[in-house]
Amino acid sequence: MLFSNSVAALAAFAITGVSAGIRIPKLWPCWPVCPSPPDPCDAVTNQVQNGGFDSPLSGLPWVFTGMQITKNKPRSSPQAALSNIQTTVQKNSMIQSVTLEKGKTYTLRYYWAIVSGTIATNQDCYISAGVDQTNLNSLLLTATPQGTYNQHDFTFKAPAVSTLQFIVYCNKLPAPLSVNVDDVSIYEKVKGCDIPE
């Protein structure tokens, strides 16, 4: 009985802030059921629309020049973006306007795979990507098994105007090469928050 009375008194104390006729500040205003504090990582979202290239073509936010949508060997079904490189003159590209806050730090992540052809030792092929058109991050493509996706991350500070751009090209090209890009994302870099796979 003594234990039950003590629990009841504690409950009254927590809810009303009154003990023995003396009003004091509440220590647990939500007791006995307190909600979990909001997770700051929940507010960190992908700033790229249709980064998996899976929405209907009529609704794509991407603008393609020389690139196209493919159902051949996407990383995440059913589609990816494809660059077929036939000559060193080609600079296949795709762009999308994104809304970023100037000066904040973001991470661009994408996955790429060779789906036709091979990277030779004398081949010089790149994916240049970023939101600052004067400072794109250039990735030298290396030999990997066909259809095997490779992750690439690039951290940057957002400029005043942000247009995400990808350019896929080869400076040396002994034979035609086809490269897929898939699952593109831009997340604000927040301590303790991971980018979803």
pLDDT the model gives residue 59: 60
* Residue among 149, 144, 14, 166 nearest 91 (CA): 166
pLDDT the model gives residue 25: 54
> What domains are defined for the chain?
2-35 (no CATH), 46-188 (2.60.120.260)
The pLDDT tens digits along the chain (197 residues) read 444 444 444 444 444 444 455 555 555 667 667 777 777 787 789 999 999 998 876 567 999 999 999 999 999 989 999 999 999 999 999 999 999 999 999 999 999 999 999 887 778 999 999 998 878 999 999 999 999 999 999 999 999 888 999 999 999 988 899 999 999 999 999 988 888 87
Please give the sequence-ordered ranges of beta strands (E in DSSP) within 1-79, or none if there are none.
Answer: 18-19, 22-23, 63-65, 67-70
pLDDT the model gives residue 135: 81
**N-terminal to C-terminal alpha carbon distance within the chain:** 55
pLDDT the model gives residue 168: 97
Instruction: Give the amino acid at 2.
Output: L
pTM assigned to the model: 0.79
Distance between CA 155 and CA 185 in Å, rounded?
A: 12
Distance between CA 183 and CA 195 in Å, rounded?
A: 12
pLDDT the model gives residue 83: 97
**For the chain, how are helix, strand and coil distributed in percent, rounded to 5?**
10, 40, 50
